[in-house]
Chains A and B, each alone.
Chain A
Amino acid sequence: MRSPTPMLIIDWRKCIGCRTCELACAMAKGSPEKLGRPRIAIHRPEDASIPMTCLQCLEAACVKICPVGALSRHPDTGAVVLDENRCIHCQSCVAACPFGHISWAEETRTPLKCDLCGGQPACAKFCPTGALTYK
């Protein structure tokens, strides 16, 4: 089943490991004074570079495990998004993601995951080689 909404496509063969996506994400998720924590990370298994971020799974483990329905699919962007007002900070989603794409911010006691920047992902916008595209 293909998602009817645009998708963030990761073509790791085009990734040169410049980590611009991490910086763009940190800026998008931060404030003018302070960078946020990036929701994307470049990994370097063997000799490759691969950007790793939430795949917005259609049958998402994080959505399944959340005991209070705080994670749900956004109807417009197709992203699995967190309703921070519903989150009870149990970290089940952090434990459940099979790809480790949800991290934990101890300062705010909230899980951090990619929300596709509300439909305009900063990582794809700034990726210089087209390894990350949103279409």
Chain B
Amino acid sequence: MQLVIDGIPCTAQSGETILQVARRNHIDIPTLCHHDALEGVGACRLCVVAVRAHAEAVDAQVVASCMYAVKDGLQVDTATPEVRRLRQTVLDLLAARCPDAPEIQALRERMGGDAVDYAPATDGSKCIMCYRCVRACEAIGCNAIAAVNRGPQKEVAPPFFDATQRCIGCGTCAAICPTGHIAVTETPQYREIWSQRFAMAQCAGCGAPFMTEATREHLAGLGKLKPDYFTHCAACRQRDAAARFVRVGT
């Protein structure tokens, strides 16, 4: 099907989102919560664009481009005054929510405009509610964290803010967090995340900690690979494989 984004004719497949088509055609739409591998949730509202059903249509509707499936003949404008104003408001509010998150300040500088300074929050939170952590946890198959409470009290946490067997302490949520909000403490013996302590698995070769015991059980339990894949750290596996290859070849 065909659609027009900022005057540029674009070809698209059914089921694609406006954001996917725009990025493929090198049209920049700012995002915070979007991640290529995770399903769009439209959480940050930064990717809003104006759409009209066809070229003659007068009424424009503002939609989140990360979730809006393309339609034939769609006319998309990524930078109308209204779209700019809405994005600015989103960023101004996020800047007040997370004054310490450099990503927000950088986006504000990049997008220019007249920023409104709301009273900044003082709780030190850097969470921008993008749900990347929640969706990544779901993709791994754990579903250990979710949004709890409503309004200004809303935050991401494990059920009842308590230790949960669903969490394997893999640390993906912290690694994918764009603002570094999720705290991880690591020692050779344990990793602490979401106020829960996980014992580290020691490499059978060198004794170095290389993942949590729970992560090892999770990966082995997937049944995709044999459990004995997960006994050694990568460095020891490479060293052992080298010795094996040389023995086979002589």
What residues make up the interface of A, taking CB atoms closer than 8 Å to B? 12-13, 41, 43, 45-46, 48, 50, 52, 61, 64-65, 67-70, 83, 85-92, 94-104, 109
Minimum CB–CB distance from A80 to chain B (whole Å) comes to 15
Contacts of B176 in A (CB 8 A): 88-89
A99 vs B17: C-alpha distance when bound (angstroms): 39
- Tell me which residues from 200 to 250 in chain B have a Cβ below 8 Å from any Cβ of chain A: 210-211, 215-216, 219, 222, 224-225, 229-230, 232-243, 245-247, 249-250
Flag whether B37 is at the interface (Cβ < 8 A).
yes
Whether A67 contacts B249 by the Cβ 8 Å rule is no
Flag whether B139 is at the interface (Cβ < 8 A).
yes
Given A94-B234, A98-B229, A100-B237: A69 in contact with B37 (beta carbons within 8 A): yes
Closest to B141 in A: A67
Flag whether B36 is at the interface (Cβ < 8 A).
yes
Contacts of B216 in A (CB 8 A): 95
Flag whether B136 is at the interface (Cβ < 8 A).
yes
Flag whether B1 is at the interface (Cβ < 8 A).
no
What residues make up the interface of B, taking CB atoms closer than 8 Å to A? 35-38, 136, 139-141, 170-172, 175-176, 210-211, 215-216, 219, 222, 224-225, 229-230, 232-243, 245-247, 249-250
**Given A12-B249, A95-B216, 15 other A-B residues pairs in contact with their CB atoms under 8 A:** A52-B241, A67-B139, A67-B140, A83-B36, A89-B175, A95-B211, A96-B230, A99-B241, A100-B232, A100-B236, A100-B237, A100-B239, A101-B234, A103-B234, A103-B235
Closest to B239 in A: A43
Whether B222 contacts A52 by the Cβ 8 Å rule is no
Minimum CB–CB distance from A128 to chain B (whole Å) comes to 20
Closest to B170 in A: A90
Whether A65 contacts B225 by the Cβ 8 Å rule is yes
Whether B238 contacts A12 by the Cβ 8 Å rule is no
Whether A88 contacts B246 by the Cβ 8 Å rule is no
Whether B175 contacts A109 by the Cβ 8 Å rule is yes
Given A65-B222, A88-B38: A97 in contact with B234 (beta carbons within 8 A): yes
Contacts of A67 in B (CB 8 A): 139-141
Contacts of A97 in B (CB 8 A): 234, 237
What are 12 A-B residue pairs whose CB atoms fall within 8 Å in the complex?
Answer: A43-B243, A69-B37, A86-B36, A88-B175, A89-B172, A90-B175, A91-B171, A92-B219, A95-B215, A96-B225, A101-B234, A103-B235
